[in-house]
């Protein structure tokens, strides 16, 4: 765009890019954005994080910019609409251009990705012992955190150890183990189930259990594209687990709450 580098403001945070790797930003810059065409046009100032990386798009609009425009997004039709003093303005996208850019990105990622990345973590993790009475109980934090940030996170985890489940003892001990009776499947469902199980086995998400204490049937549900979605009947296991009186928040509320925040926690409370 021809903007001098001294216009960039420092941006110390690492960002997880679309390639799956942590990327350092060159800086932060505030630019004027013109949306729509005159007279149904809005001009706003928005902050953009700048990266030096090959990417088919020049810029990606985030939640703050969409909020400032009060825009309604129509993903299927590839356009957004927003109110202006002269009526409803709109920005239309090019479906063919978007699909071509996505295809180029996938091809480039396949060429540049080294070997099998499925088992390699995005960021190296460091084991931290947080429970003084039992040294085997550990949690993991990122190795690339600043020392001050790392110490604050570790201190916070030690103060809230009661939220972690270290073993299966959280299940009501008075509940009897349940092995559901096998439900037969027709040939179509069996082939779909076998295909999904093999895929998960190959990716390392499943392993064989020779003497299972809990057994739950697989339930196959037809999707809108006539494919099968494989689910698990956890009715008996859910009855044995303590009830959570705090329902999960809506995904749009979670996205809005994380906007402009420096850190986002993807911690698994059971596996550390």
Which pLDDT tens digit goes with each residue over 84-118? 999 998 888 777 776 776 666 665 555 555 544 44
Opening angle at CA 198, ends 117 and 115, nearest 5: 20
**CATH top-level class of 187-240:** alpha beta
Long-range contacts of 16-25 (CB under 8 A, 24+ apart): 16/122, 17/51, 17/53, 18/55, 18/105, 19/109, 19/112, 19/113, 20/117, 20/122, 21/122, 22/122, 22/123, 22/144, 23/51, 23/53, 25/49, 25/50, 25/51
Where in the chain do CATH 3.10.10.10 domains reside? 187-240
Q: What is the pLDDT of residues 52-83, one digit of tens each?
A: 776 666 777 778 888 888 888 887 777 889 99
Residue showing tokens 């934090």? 141
- Global pTM reads 0.35
What integer best gives the mean pLDDT of the chain? 77
Write the CA distances from 58 to 35, 51, 165, 177, integer angstroms.
15, 10, 44, 56
**How far apart are alpha carbons 149 and 70 in whole angstroms?**
35
Closest-CA residue to 177 (of 138, 205, 212): 212
Both tokens of 81, joined, read 């609409």
Residue showing tokens 């850019």? 101
| pLDDT of residue 270 exceeding 60 | no
Ordered DSSP codes for 256-268 = HHHTT-S------
**How far apart are alpha carbons 190 and 61 in whole angstroms?**
43
């Amino acid at each position: 765009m021809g903007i001098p580098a001294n216009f960039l403001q420092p941006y110390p945070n690492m960002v997880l890019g679309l390639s799956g790797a942590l990327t350092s930003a060159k800086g932060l810059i505030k630019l004027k954005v013109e949306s729509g065409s005159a007279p149904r046009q809005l001009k706003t100032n928005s902050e953009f994080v700048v990266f030096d990386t090959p990417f088919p798009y020049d810029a990606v609009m985030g939640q703050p910019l969409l909020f400032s425009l009060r825009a309604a997004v129509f993903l299927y039709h590839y356009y957004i609409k927003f109110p202006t003093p002269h009526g409803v303005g709109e920005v239309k996208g090019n479906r063919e251009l978007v699909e071509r850019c996505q295809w180029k990105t996938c091809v480039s990622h396949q060429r540049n990705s080294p070997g099998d990345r499925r088992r390699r973590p995005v960021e190296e993790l460091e084991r931290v012992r947080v429970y003084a009475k039992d040294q085997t109980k550990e949690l993991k934090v990122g190795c690339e955190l600043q020392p001050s940030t790392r110490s604050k996170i570790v201190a916070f985890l030690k103060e809230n150890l009661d939220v972690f489940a270290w073993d299966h003892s959280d299940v009501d001990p008075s509940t009897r183990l349940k092995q559901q009776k096998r439900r037969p499947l027709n040939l179509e469902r069996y082939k779909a189930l076998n295909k999904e199980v093999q895929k998960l086995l190959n990716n390392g998400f499943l392993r064989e259990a020779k003497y299972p204490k809990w057994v739950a049937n697989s339930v196959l549900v037809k999707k809108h594209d006539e494919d099968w979605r494989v689910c698990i009947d956890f009715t008996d296991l859910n009855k044995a687990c303590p009830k959570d009186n705090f329902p999960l928040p809506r995904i749009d509320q979670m996205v809005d709450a994380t906007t402009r925040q420096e850190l986002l926690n993807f911690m698994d409370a059971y596996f550390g």
